[in-house]
Amino acid sequence: MREQDIKQIVAKVLEELKDQVGSLEKSRTNQASYCYGDVDDAVEMAVKAQKIWQWEYSLEEKKRIIDGLKKFLLDYVEELAVLAVEDTDMGRVDDKIAKNKLAIEKTPGPEFFTTKATSGDNGLVLEELSPFGVIASITPSTNPTASVINNTICMISGGNAVVFAPHPSAVKCSLRSCELINQYLTSQGVPTGLVSSLSIATLENAQKLMTHKDVRLISATGGPGVVKAALSSGKPAIGAGPGNPPVIVDETAHLEKTAKDVIAGCSFDNNLPCIAEKELIVVNCVADQLKRYMLENGAFELKGGDVEKLKKLVLTEDGKPNKSYVGKDAVRILADIGIKVPESIRVILVEAEEKDPLVQEEMLMPVLPMVRVSDFEEGLMMALRVEHGFRHSAAIHSTNIDNMSRMARAMETTIFTKNAPSFASIGFGGDCPTAFTIATTTGQGPTTPLSFCRVRRCLLHGAFRIV
């Protein structure tokens, strides 16, 4: 998408949003049907709606409504993308449009479910997936609207209700997402409260929601503190933990394609996705050639004193990411150290050593440290160290099957991508369902409707076997 097209979309949507933002603020006191200031009220409505949704709507009716919801939301992907960037001051409008479309088009629905039937000498056993009930969903600022859409589709497909607790810096865009979802659901006669959000984003409210007696499952996407709170709530939890994904490029990689893929993945939404390439580990004999291709395809390299200026800007005194620059455009970051570059620049490339904070920390900005290694073996050992055992995501570009297999086995990451941008692993150019909650900590992996259901077994002894 061209820069001029993006600017026109932003201007148009912001004009349309003027009245809507005001109505969102007003709804905090008027208590719109999708938005609650009180946790007890939200959960009470969710409990009532969930029972009706589970028992009074057939599988075919659920599928029809969810398919219709997807079609309805496609008309609002641009609006939600603009609002997400305005709300959070992070990311890129064009990439958030892509995220929203991905969440709508590739999140699986009720069709994902199957029933397992086993027969034997003693009769028939059925195992089916059943809803938990009311789910508390803690959503991040990095993918706010896409996460609400993705989680809504997954959770209600399984017969659940959901109450969202949005990140404090993503309240408006999250509420607007819930408003649109409810606008369609209520038009189809679905009871109020099936999908709702807390309007006041505080830690106290999130804690109260997670520990509410009628909340049966917690889905938490965010920093270590959020996941820890979910796991200590005493409820079943789906926790998306931290990551620091390395990507290795060995001497057998197709370097021009690799350069384009790494830049595309690293720069997508300004490196906000937890799966995005965070550090580049390259076998030295191809490093210079790879770098040339990267500089031809949207990367800008910093050297010498400019690297130190960058570090002073994007790192705090204790070597942690400066939150003021999380999710900012590469052009903006470079401008703030006095370097003007074309809008086509998407990634800042910096040669670094393993111990560098840019390598060790999950920066969540389009700054890509490149570390040279003598061979694949050294690169693999380094990748294991800098990933810190999070077992979140990693990637490799190679045509050596042994190297690809060895890294996949050694890293033990929830997501491992070979010869593609990282975002292919969540369905953007990859043949897999979309997930914006990657449950690394609790082991469910990229979530689907199955993740938000529990297995129930029913046995009939001595009958219904036909052979």
Residue 314's beta-bridge partner residues? none
Taking the C-alpha atoms of residue 454 and residue 451, their distance in angstroms, rounded to an integer, is 8
Q: Quick check: is 453 catalytic? A: no
Helices (H), 74-157: 77-88, 93-106, 144-157
Residue 240 · residue 220 · CB < 8 Å: yes
Taking the C-alpha atoms of residue 60 and residue 49, their distance in angstroms, rounded to an integer, is 18
Count the Cβ atoms, other than its own, within 10 Å of residue 90: 24
Q: What Å distances lie between residue 287 and 3, 252, 381, 417, 422, CA to CA?
A: 31, 12, 18, 20, 20
H, E, C per residue of 178-190: HHHHHHHHHHCCC
Closest by alpha carbon to 101, among 43, 145, 57? 145
Helices (H), 268-315: 284-295, 305-314
Q: What is the DSSP letter of 269?
A: G
Q: What SS3 state is found at 371?
A: strand
Residue tagged 């990637």 (tokens)? 395
Q: Which of 154, 173, 266, 274 is catalytic?
A: 274
Q: What Å distances lie between residue 190 and 10, 146, 228, 423, 445, CA to CA?
A: 32, 22, 34, 34, 30
Two structure tokens written together for 225? 């503190």
Q: What SS3 state is found at 414?
A: coil
Q: What SS3 state is found at 247?
A: strand
Taking the C-alpha atoms of residue 448 and residue 427, their distance in angstroms, rounded to an integer, is 12
Residue 44 · residue 192 · CB < 8 Å: no
Two structure tokens written together for 293? 């291709």
Q: What is the DSSP letter of 386?
A: H
Taking the C-alpha atoms of residue 453 and residue 458, their distance in angstroms, rounded to an integer, is 16
Taking the C-alpha atoms of residue 236 and residue 431, their distance in angstroms, rounded to an integer, is 30
Residue tagged 């990748």 (tokens)? 383
Two structure tokens written together for 449? 């409707």
Strand pairing of 453-461 and 123-131?
Answer: antiparallel
Two structure tokens written together for 250? 């060995």
Residue 237's beta-bridge partner residues? 218
Catalytic residues: 274
